[in-house]
């Protein structure tokens, strides 16, 4: 609330459709379309530095800007934390996640507007990508069965069990299931009903009960890397786990590589 008009702060709302944003959004928030601004046509995350620099420049983000991320709570409560992960991958220092996102903001009756903000474009240059925050399918395959590593599948139980491929039953040659040895912890279990993060004690119990503990190397994955970015944030930034990586290729990639094993 105290920084809605702060020129050193940029609020970013992301969704797959601008409809909710156009109706009402946090004052001075800019809109990012997940499908066209952040993903490639095959639903992989766009890691092209030039595209990212252009996106931040037109959004009025400079190197010293504090960015606050959020999304709609509905079907996309993971958006804010996923954007946090993306900003960190591209080396941006000052990022915050709006706890509870749009839903909590609405519940508290905080200010909204339908007016698009007036943005002064900046010049943004990415120094280097932080490769330590990501992991690739070759490394994931090598980690299967290792006692010092735990794979966390954060998709729905239906996706994990092979009943669904993405958001519907598998079609034709689509391979459904999960990566061998992965444990299932749906990302939404880390949230309260109002979309805010659960307490430290509840989160420690949620992951500890699955043997997802700080001494392990933890690899998160989902369908396209978004929901797993949310769990990455919870484990690394809320619980302080030292070794967490997001497999952003996730099931969208793994299931399409015929030589990689799956379980149901």
| Residues in Cβ contact with 201 at an 8 Å cutoff, skipping those fewer than 6 apart | none
Residue 222 falls in the annotated catalytic set = yes
Residue 57's Cβ-count burial label (10 Å; 0-12, 13-18, 19+) is middle
Strand-pairing partners, residue 97, are 69
Residue 19: how many other CB atoms lie within 10 Å: 9
* Structure token pair of residue 109: 């009756």
Cα 221–chain centre separation: 10
Q: Angle CA(129)–CA(149)–CA(233) in degrees, nearest 5?
A: 45
Counting Cα atoms < 13 Å in the Cβ hemisphere of 226 gives: 24
Residue among 11, 30, 98, 222 flagged as catalytic: 222
Cβ atoms of 113 and 54 within 8 Å: the answer is: no
Residues 58-85, buried b or exposed e (16+ Cβ, 10 A)?
ebbbeeebbbbbbbbbeebbbbbbbbbb
Measure the CA angle with vertex 81, ends 263 and 201; round to 5°.
Answer: 80
Closest CA to 90 of 57, 133, 120: 133
d(CA 93, CA 110): 27
Q: Which residues are catalytic?
A: 222
């Amino acid at each position: 609330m105290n920084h809605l008009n702060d020129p050193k702060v940029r609020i970013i709302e992301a969704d797959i459709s601008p409809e909710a944003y156009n109706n009402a959004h946090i004052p001075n928030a800019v809109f990012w379309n997940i499908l066209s601004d952040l993903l490639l046509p095959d639903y992989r995350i766009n890691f092209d530095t030039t595209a990212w620099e252009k996106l931040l420049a037109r959004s009025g983000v400079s190197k010293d800007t504090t960015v606050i991320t959020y999304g709609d709570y509905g079907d996309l409560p993971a958006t804010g934390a996923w954007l946090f992960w993306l900003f960190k991958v591209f080396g941006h220092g000052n990022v915050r996640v709006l706890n509870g996102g749009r839903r909590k903001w609405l519940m508290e009756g905080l200010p909204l507007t339908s007016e698009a903000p007036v943005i002064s474009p900046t010049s943004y240059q990415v120094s280097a990508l932080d490769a330590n925050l990501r992991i690739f399918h070759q490394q994931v395959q090598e980690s299967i069965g290792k006692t010092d590593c735990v794979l966390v599948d954060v998709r729905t139980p239906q996706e994990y069990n092979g009943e669904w491929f993405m958001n519907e039953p598998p079609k034709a040659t689509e391979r459904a299931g999960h990566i061998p040895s992965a444990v299932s912890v749906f990302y939404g279990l880390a949230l309260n009903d109002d979309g805010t993060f659960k307490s430290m004690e509840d989160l420690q119990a949620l992951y500890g009960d699955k043997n997802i503990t700080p001494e392990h190397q933890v690899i998160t994955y989902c369908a396209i890397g978004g929901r797993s970015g949310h769990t990455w944030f919870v484990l690394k930034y809320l619980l302080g786990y030292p070794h967490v990586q997001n497999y952003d290729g996730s099931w969208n990639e793994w299931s399409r590589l015929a030589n990689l094993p799956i379980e149901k």
